[in-house]
Structure 1
């Protein structure tokens, strides 16, 4: 056999070595990115909750009322609850979404939209249960922490457990879980969809692409989640034994179906920059991890 033929045979018979699977990013990156974003947009989140749970009608008027009665620092009431919520709920949803998406799609190319939506739904269900106690504390602290005697998130958690028992951890878990499922299917799934669509249309991967992908994801998520978000806030802020269905019936009787979208504008105004900040921050954190690993770092 000639040398050329032997070279061809060797090339054909040479075993194909599978590309090394990339090392996953640290599971806590999503929680850190969400905490940074939530710290910036907290006044809007607080105003959204107060619009949903009080007689306030307008976003700006509600913010002025808060400043007039509590000062500028009043716009940051419940910030510790928000941060604790992000490092439980958001950390769980981002970590679970990546794992579930990876398990569901092993073929070439990006996963189809339905797989991303399903992965987001599953991740949302997990995160909704894990983060429910701290979601409850966050809502109460933002609505009126003086009414509950809360000083910070940890004191609030122990006080709630002592006064209301561990069962209080799961108050509002059904509407919160539904909202979490809808949020993550629409936000995480649509962000990936928009990102892949933009990449496919020739937009280069970078902050501009991440901005527009998150802009689309925030609008989709706000609209899809508004009804569950309003119901969740009202259930969590209600005292006594009023159940979810009773609260829905009362709200429908008093305000009509439009109550389901009460606070949509502040919700969009809050969620949109939050979504943009989360994904821009998360992408930059991932880029930082990549640079760290390329430089020989082994701790991330």
Structure 2
């Protein structure tokens, strides 16, 4: 019976935690959409503001466009954030083992948070990629193709890789017109061009990110590795976020405990002798820590978002491997996954991300503590 009770308590905490993460994600998702479109839509000479992004999304997709891809992010964050907190608790429990005081130093919280953040990256990357492309599609006009397939003709390569996607007929006709002046025995130049990977869209460019947003399309055109695109910048981003978040939260928690112990007589020797902090104080500290961590890691978040917004077909990846293509930029940029052309726009959308992370952290911790407290009191 005791084991059954422990399992029920563990399941209760898991369900409450998942619900808290989903609630916070839903509440802050419009901010995430605006932040992301500001990051990927800006350039060195053009900066989008929040009003422009909102008007664009509303004109293309309506109100539902602000929540495009929400299900994917909510599902990924339930597992990703759950893994972050779970790994952190395991590592800090190892650090506290054998100590008389239940205390974690800031350096230990920093290192444990960095490992926990890196773990979150591997779990949530595929969900973030799909979510990002659905958000971009919600703000993009996708013109319908006027490509007509002859009866009995084989579907072009791009239509076989991406269901419902057809070549750009206008650009294709220009290519065919230029090549028609050449002497050739081939009577089907158009068909051969469309079977050539670099010309399968008819324009010579990769398919639009709006056409490559479903998991099956991503895997078909870009391969399984594309689900973890931007992994370098993602690991750095989440490691910095996790380390700063947990270390600053631990720092604020200790300050509040010390402040509460000032008027006690006799002075407590251990943290356990100090009355527990109010849930509101703990929640506010978590929200502030989330905003600080978002500010510290925002540059890597921008780099990751812009990387995931790029369609890189398998044939281009194969060509780069054969040619031993090297990443551009300095050693630091190559290590962290930052593209040199993005260095002037790394902090676009900083305020939006700080607000989103702060509110989300506040809601996750606050709703979790509130729900656990009420459920525990109802069970006793």
Distance 1:222 1:248 in 2: 20
Q: Does 1:194 align with 2:252?
A: yes
1:94-243 correspondence runs (5 A)? 94-106=85-97, 107=99, 108-144=101-137, 147-149=209-211, 156-202=214-260, 205-240=277-312
- What do you get for the CA RMSD once the two structures are aligned? 2.6
Shift of 1:124: 0.9
Q: Paired residue for 1:42, among 29, 32, 47?
A: 29
Shift of 1:224: 0.7
After superposition, give the CA deviation of every residue in 1:44-64 in whole Å (9 maximum; x if it has no partner): 001000000003521233112
Q: How many residues align?
A: 263
Distance 1:29 1:194 in 2: 25
Distance 2:125 2:114 in 1: 16
The structure with the largest alpha-carbon Rg is 2
Per the alignment, residue 66 of structure 1 pairs with 57
Moved more, 33-42 or 163-172: 163-172
For the 8 Å contact 2:294–2:354, the answer to whether it is kept is yes
Per the alignment, residue 18 of structure 1 pairs with none
For the 8 Å contact 2:287–2:357, the answer to whether it is kept is no
Distance 1:104 1:177 in 2: 23
Distance 2:25 2:307 in 1: 22
Distance 2:277 2:327 in 1: 44
Distance 1:65 1:207 in 2: 40
Where in structure 2 are there 5+ consecutive unaligned residues?
1-8, 143-208, 261-274, 318-325, 330-337
TM-score (norm 1): 0.78
| Greater percentage in helix | 1
Shift of 1:42: 0.4
Match of 1:261, SS? coil
Per the alignment, residue 14 of structure 1 pairs with none
